[in-house]
Structure 1
Amino acid sequence: MAKVTFLGLGVMGYPMAGHLQAAGHEVTVYNRTAAKAEKWAAEHGGNWASTPREAAEGAEFVMACVGNDDDLRSVCLGDEGAFAGMSEGAIFVDHTTVSAAVTRELAEVAGEAGLGYVDAPISGGQAGAENAALSVMCGGDAGDYDKAEPVIDAYAKICRRLGDTGAGQITKMCNQIAIAGLVQGLSESLAFAQKAGLDVENVVEVISQGAAGSWQMVNRHKTMAAGEFEHGFAVDWMRKDLGICLDAADEMQVSLPVTALIDQFYKEVQAMGGGRWDTSSLIARLTR
C-alpha cells in the first residue's frame, strides 16, 4: 500500500480516488472547489488539502485528473503546485487528456526535479470510473510505469504502457478519433431507421449481433433514439479532445478528414445548446 495524492475530483476523479482509498492506500485529495474535497474525505475517510503542494507532500504517487493543458500546468507548477511538494523519486501520474506537447513539457520539468512522470489518459467514461473498469493507456519510463501500475490497478480494467513519454496521450487520441467516427455512423444508422418507420429496438437487436455491433450501439442506442443525452462524456470535452487530435495531426502531417468533419458536427451540437450533452448527441443534428 502506498501514500497517494489525487488532484481533481470531477465525475472521473471522485470515484477513482475512492477506489484508491478502498484498496487500502493512504489517500489525500485536492480539488479547486474545496467543498468537494471535504465531502470526499468525509465520505471515504481519507484526507484533503487546500493546495496541490500541500496534498503532494510526502506522497509516493501523485495522480491528476483535471480539465485541460492549462489546468494541468496550474496543479503541477508554481510555488503551490504539486511538483514543489513532491519528494525526489516520487511519481506523477497524469490521467488528464491533454496535448502530447504539454505532457513532454511537464515530464521534462519533473525529470529535472528528480521526479517520475507517467502520462496515463483514461477511457471508459463516468461508469468506468465508478465501476473500476477504466482503460488506461500509458507513456513514460518503463521503471516508473512498473511502480505506478499496481496503484493504477485500483480503478483499471486494463492498463498498458505503449511507449515513452507522450505515447499514452497519442493512444488516447487514437481512441477519440475512433469514437468520433463510430458515433456519427451509429447516429446516421438510427436516424435512417427511424425515418424509414422501422422499430429501432428490433433493428439494433439484429445488427448488433453482426459486424455493425459496438459498445456504443449496445449502451447508447436507446437513449439516442429517445433524445436523451445526459449519460456520459460532454460534447465540450470531446471538442477539446478532437482539437488536440487535429493539432497533432497537423504537426505529424497526417490526414484526419472524418475527424475534422465530425468536430464541426459537434460544433453544431454546441450551437444547439448541447455543449453539456454527451457525445451520442450527434444524432440530434439529424432528428431535430
Structure 2
Amino acid sequence: YCYDTALKNSCGFIDAPISGGETGAINGTLTAMCGGDEEVFSRSLAVISHYCKSISLMGGSGSGQLTKMVNQICIAGVLQGLAEGVYFAQKADLDIEKVIEAIGKGAAQSWQMDNRALTMDKGEYNFGFAVDHMRKDLDIVLKTSQKLNISLSVVEMVDEFYAELQRSGGGRLDTSSLLKRLK
C-alpha cells in the first residue's frame, strides 16, 4: 500500500526494518533489511547509513519486512533454546560463565548467547527488545505464514510462551526472559 501510494505521488518508498536492538541504535550499528526499487534504495543509503552498519536490498517492496520476519523466526527459536540450555546448566549445577565460554566458541554461538546468556542466568531482563514488541512481530509472522499456507510450530510455541510472560506482567521485559517461565 505505502509503495503504491508513494509511486502514485511521484515519491519513492523503501521498507527498511532494522535489527540490532537498543545498543545497536545507540552505537549506529543496526542492520537494515530493505525492500524497494534499487534507485530509491541507492538514494536512501546516505540517510540509513547514519544508524546502520549493514544495509541490504532484499528485493522489491515488502522484501525488507519479509526478511525481518525471517530474523524474528530465527531469534524466537534461538532464545527458547538458549533459555532451556541456561536452565539445564543451572539445574546441573554447572558454572554458567564457564559453560558459555566453552560453547560460545562452537556451533551454539550466537548474538543472543554473547549478549544475553549471563544476564539470563542473573535474572536480569530490564533492557533490550521487549516481549510486547516480539509478540507484535510474531503475530505478523504467524499471519503471514497462514497466507503462505505454512506451519511454523516453533514460532507458535514460543509466541505462546511470550503470551504467558505478558499475562504475568512481563510484557516490558527483554525477550530473553523466556527463562523465567521455566523456573
The two structures have a TM-score, normalised by structure 2, of 0.98
Name the counterpart of 2:77: 181
Name the counterpart of 1:52: none
Q: Secondary structure at the match of 1:283?
A: helix
Specify which of 26, 51, 55 is matched with residue 155 of structure 1: 51
Distance 1:186 1:120 in 2: 28
Specify which of 207, 212, 220 is matched with residue 103 of structure 2: 207
Query: Unaligned stretches of 5+ in structure 2?
Result: none
Name the counterpart of 2:164: 268
| CA RMSD across the alignment | 0.7
- Summarize the alignment of residues 37-48 of structure 1 with structure 2, pairs less than 5 Å apart: none
Distance 2:47 2:133 in 1: 26
Specify which of 112, 122, 131 is matched with residue 8 of structure 2: 112
Distance 2:122 2:47 in 1: 39
Specify which of 135, 158, 171 is matched with residue 31 of structure 2: 135
Cα distance, 1:264 vs structure 2 = 0.2
Cα distance, 1:199 vs structure 2 = 1.2
Specify which of 152, 155, 162 is matched with residue 259 of structure 1: 155
Q: Which has the higher contact order (CA 8 A, sep 6+)?
A: 2
Distance 2:63 2:141 in 1: 13
Specify which of 136, 144, 147 is matched with residue 240 of structure 1: 136
Query: Unaligned stretches of 5+ in structure 1?
Result: 1-104
Distance 1:261 1:154 in 2: 37
Cα distance, 1:186 vs structure 2 = 0.2
Cα distance, 1:212 vs structure 2 = 0.8
The two structures have a TM-score, normalised by structure 1, of 0.63
Distance 1:265 1:139 in 2: 31
Specify which of 106, 127, 145 is matched with residue 231 of structure 1: 127
Cα distance, 1:202 vs structure 2 = 1.1
Distance 2:8 2:99 in 1: 57
Distance 1:274 1:151 in 2: 35
Cα distance, 1:221 vs structure 2 = 1.1
Distance 1:217 1:145 in 2: 33
Counterpart of 1:138, as a letter, is C
Q: Secondary structure at the match of 2:105?
A: coil
Cα distance, 1:141 vs structure 2 = 0.9
Name the counterpart of 1:280: 176
Cα distance, 1:222 vs structure 2 = 1.4
Deviations 1:218-260 (A, max 9, x none): 1111110111101201000000000000000000112211001
Q: Secondary structure at the match of 1:116?
A: coil
Counterpart of 1:274, as a letter, is G
Query: 4+ residue runs of structure 1 moved beyond 4 angstroms?
Result: none
Name the counterpart of 1:172: 68
Distance 2:164 2:4 in 1: 38
Q: Secondary structure at the match of 2:61?
A: coil
Cα distance, 1:198 vs structure 2 = 1.1
Q: Secondary structure at the match of 2:56?
A: strand
Name the counterpart of 1:121: 17
Counterpart of 1:226, as a letter, is K
